[in-house]
Amino acid sequence: MKRYIPLFGFLLLAFSSCLKSGLDENLPKFKDAQITDVFMEYRFEDPNSTSGGSPVVRVVTLNLTNKQFLKIEDHPGASTDSVVFDVTVPPASGSFTEAERAKVSTTNLVFMSNISTAATMSAVGSAPRPGAPGDFTQPQQYLVTAADGSTRTWTIRIANFIK
């Protein structure tokens, strides 16, 4: 075993990097701060199912149609970029009963999106965090920050909510 110690030491040094800075000086930074797609879902605790004594949370994917991605530069007078769409609640099925379906409203939806490469997104003001249940009875705003630091504010609005 002692004869392998020098080999391990050599391998440790051979596979380490000495480069500590200058990595990003010549690399391009993405400048896009776009929302490229949007999704919504409804989550609920299934009263008939448990896992390890805890209730099971079920997810219902909502149907989004008529998606419009409106960029500020294409709409003179607009104060932000925006995404407008219709939301349709799917029919009851399995653990998503008619009683549970009746509870779905614009006050308890989960918003998610695809954004530009290397960008980040954060809620503005009282908007719910992306991926957390929130109130979409009114338009909500999100700030998308590109890798180069540029930002765009996006307004998310449900045009029609269909049950």
Among the listed ranges 29-33, 94-98, 107-111, which one has the minimum average pLDDT value? Answer: 29-33
Work out the average pLDDT over 94-116: 97
Work out the average pLDDT over 18-32: 69
The token duo for 78 is 């607009």
Work out the average pLDDT over 96-110: 97
Q: Domains, the chain, ranges and CATH?
A: 29-162 (2.60.40.4120)
Cα dihedral 128→132→134→136 (10° resolution): 80
Work out the average pLDDT over 84-96: 97
